[in-house]
Structure 1
């Protein structure tokens, strides 16, 4: 192993340069995506919004990300990460500026809805990093990418309120937000200039079809159709939250139209899956080209519980601490940010453990820890010392984020040319989880909310038992018909 090929975080050349630029791009997307949360109060008073309207903006912020992650995954596989990330960073600056200039709730709502698109950036880097790192470093590299990039939301929480104060006045928050948009726009050009999709001489494998995911057996065909349902269900749930039964932003008629549209789109989606995969009903796929979609399904469920709970908990933790322990909002915010801080080490940690001890074993241990962690959080009440409650939250967060790292240490090992699509679907499941958990939270108390997450993590643990450790090699077809074998295990 020459020093050039070593995994050295302090290097900025070769594959390490790609890793650093990737996490920076992801960092910026998360900073833009969550630039709104730390400035909630300023936005609320500046635009004269009600609490219900603010909650609606928070829902809209994650709504579009569900279909966006699936779409961006497909585009990444087809056009390559360099183009797709650069365009996403540039285009997303537009709704960011639009939000900074918004004068009323409707303008803010539309801008926030479209900003959900930037939350799909994560998927692009997963494919890019998998092109540059060998299987025995992949978990660590994807963990660094995910963990350090994810820190963008915490960075927004620390810096944007200060920036807003620095600009001062009623419009301070607008300048702070606009700066994140400007960062996104500038970095789009930096990324485009300095990144290439694969190392020199390597082939970038593209899927045969852009419209739907390929599967390689009849059972997987039906499993894929079933696994698509929760994504549509989550969007229906969001529509319901905006209906007269929820925050009443949309009329009953509009919501019914949305429900009907979702049914029609699902039907169309299913027809595309049929079109791409109907040949498997005529003749079986050669063993060398098969992959097991159940691997994807299990990882979807695990990401629902890990990233879904992270998104939900990050949104409610400051409130939980301030209400349970009567802390000031600032102290509660700092205590809650300890949860996000864990990302810097936990996600790379989860990936590294996966590289060393195997994907399945790591996931089993982390998922069990996750479930126990949330059961512990469910016990927290005002009789606890605050320090102990914070320690419990940080322990829980370690399992959550290491679990995310371990999920994405496994994804690129399933089918190389479809890594973007697979990452897109699993990533979308994280958002589906967030929508479901936050909806549950609106009906129950905090401890029940934690117990619900613990139980879903247990279900994930059971699902994991049927997952198979990625082993041997993945076969990918070159354009000339020859086959390249990619190692996925020692």
Structure 2
């Protein structure tokens, strides 16, 4: 398949894959277009460190519910319409942020931008519709890995675009050359038009959304797009699974409460506003539970019973949600931590630390497709998932031992090896997602994707609490004591990541089922035409 990916790039399913991973790529470019300008925006608006952190937090706040909602819309309307609408919508928060004149407007722009981060879910079903089960791991890995590279591309290019657009009105003049670091490389400019760069990225994404609509279809010719009876909530096939679904929805609400608490900690929300927000989130959970009940009420009342061949086990979804917590959730957290970790541990300058941290994101180009390829090749998606998570857990535990006495190249190699297992496990996760139940693939992908953000917020909150407990604060504290406390907090943080990975690997080994027809040539309900030998005396007769 890898060879055909390039030789048949403009044909059939390979063309759809290229168009779709690029849509995901652009959604991540705009989702991550704030960090390259963080220093510039802080300086222009006079923001405090807490306010700057709040903007970054708002960037992911709505991604959790958005991935669930977009999963529902995806199953109902199809990936073509859903992706088109999301890409066009991306221009709105970009323009709001680019034209902001106050901190509150910046916050509104980034809150709305969090919805764009849910675009990943859409391409999961589009790719699954076009590729058969035996190749879906590789296809999903390429889609996820190459699209995910949009975050690194944004970090590398946005400042360059802003410098190139410095002739336009709205540029921020620093008065003297200012240094900028992009993936470890230093640049200097007197003028930086970050507003034009961010607005331009949104406009380009919206234009691509229109192009996407006119150049893709939801399914290959002759294949019917299968929709659930209702997209209001996930359809389950047993009463026990309904209550399992209710339990697995709790963390999605709980993590939003954690975000509300963190916004109160930085002063963005008052204490009464925080409690009001939490009450609203409880209402959101109740509304979600009601929708799930509406979808499954006939099953719960005993008026509906699914035949054995139409049932699936919700534990498959639950375990995949946990795998995405520990792999993608840890990746988002580690990417945020690595630059400061290497800078403090090995006394590196910011440029060198940034270059090492960037290598973690660059690994996505090969690691995530690699996980999908392995899942397609070894004959067992279950054991692929188990082994990759086990390797990830061991890698994090080893990394928790890294200290200033380590050989720096050895530490970098360990980061690279650990990132391979993390991102390959992500690819293996979404090699399994489309095989759970085809007609609800969008909702399954939405929930699994949302759990990745749950993991990121949970891990970063754990790190914050560890730092508050172990790192002394205040004036006059011995720097050596601060360094020792920081090192201890980092070690415990990586140990948490490692232990969590090993626990989920254990769950996969004992509770994850190998999907039915995991390596079939056709999707569920489809038949593959088998060529028939020419009839005697009539070589033109073929099936």
TM over 0.5: yes
- Cα deviation for residue 408 of structure 1 reads 0.1
Aligned equivalents of 2:342 and 2:527: distance in 1?
48
* Structure 1 residue 376 corresponds to structure 2 residue 398: yes
Indicate if the aligned counterparts of 2:372 and 2:428 stay in contact, CA closer than 8 A. Answer: yes
**What is the RMSD computed on CA atoms of the aligned residues?**
1.8
Could you tell me which residue of structure 2 aligns to residue 188 of structure 1? 209
- Report if aligned partners of 1:75, 1:210 keep a CA contact under 8 Å in 2: yes
Aligned with residue 260 of structure 1, among 279, 285, 297: 279
Contact 1:347 1:403 in 2 (8 A): yes
1:289 aligns with 2:289: no
Would you say 1:332 and 2:353 are equivalent positions?
yes
Q: Distance in 2 between matches of 1:50 and 1:163?
A: 26
Residue 132 (structure 1) shift: 0.3
> 1:89-488 residue pairs with structure 2 within 5 A?
89-168=87-166, 170=172, 171-243=192-264, 246-281=265-300, 282=302, 283-357=304-378, 358-444=380-466, 445-464=489-508, 465-472=510-517, 484-485=525-526
Q: C-alpha distance in 2, partners of 1:381/1:346?
A: 26
SS in 2 for 1:197: coil
4+ residue stretches of structure 1 with deviation over 4 A? none
Q: Distance in 2 between matches of 1:185 and 1:330?
A: 33
Report which stretch shifted further, 454-463 or 167-176: 167-176
- State the alpha-carbon separation in 1 of the partners of residues 397 and 527 from structure 2: 40
Q: In structure 2, how many angstroms separate the alpha carbons of the residues matched to 1:98 and 1:486? A: 49
- TM-score, normalisation: structure 2: 0.85
Equivalent residue, structure 1, for 2:478: none
TM-score (ref. length: structure 1): 0.94
Report how far residue 241 of structure 1 moved. Answer: 0.2
The Cα shift of 1:276 comes to 1.3
> Any conservation in 2 of the 1:473–1:486 contact (CA below 8 Å)?
no
Q: Deviations over 1:348-404 (max 9, x none)?
A: 100010011121010011000010111112111111122222111111110110000
Deviations along 1:431-471, one digit per CA (max 9) or x if unpaired, are 00011011111122211111111111122112212010002
Deviations 1:245-302 (A, max 9, x none): x111101111111111111221222122122112223153211110111000000000
Matches of 1:304 and 1:473 in 2, distance apart?
23
Q: Distance in 2 between matches of 1:436 and 1:430?
A: 10
Map of 2:22 onto structure 1: 24
For residue 338 of structure 1, report the CA deviation from its aligned partner: 0.1
Q: Deviations over 1:316-363 (max 9, x none)?
A: 211211122222222211110100010000011000100111210100
Q: Is the 8 A contact 2:394 2:502 kept in 1?
A: no
Is the Cα–Cα contact under 8 Å of residues 87 and 188 in structure 1 kept in the other structure?
Answer: yes
SS in 1 for 2:101: coil
Tell me the matched-pair count: 475
User: 2:71, 2:444 within 8 Å by CA — same for their partners in 1?
Assistant: yes
Q: Displacement of 1:154 after TM fit? A: 0.5
Q: Distance in 1 between matches of 2:27 and 2:349?
A: 29
CA distance in structure 2 between the partners assigned to 1:8 and 1:30 by the alignment: 22
User: Structure 1 stretches of 5 or more lacking a match?
Assistant: 475-482
Partner of 1:480: none
1:486 Cα deviation from its structure 2 partner: 7.3
Deviations 1:404-437 (A, max 9, x none): 0000000001111100000000000000001101
Higher mean displacement: 275-284 or 400-409: 275-284
Deviation digits for residues 11-67 of structure 1 (CA, Å, limit 9, x no counterpart): 221100100000100000001001111221111111111111111111111110000
Q: Structure 2 unaligned runs (5+)? A: 173-191, 467-488, 529-543
CA contact (8 A) 1:147 1:344 kept: yes
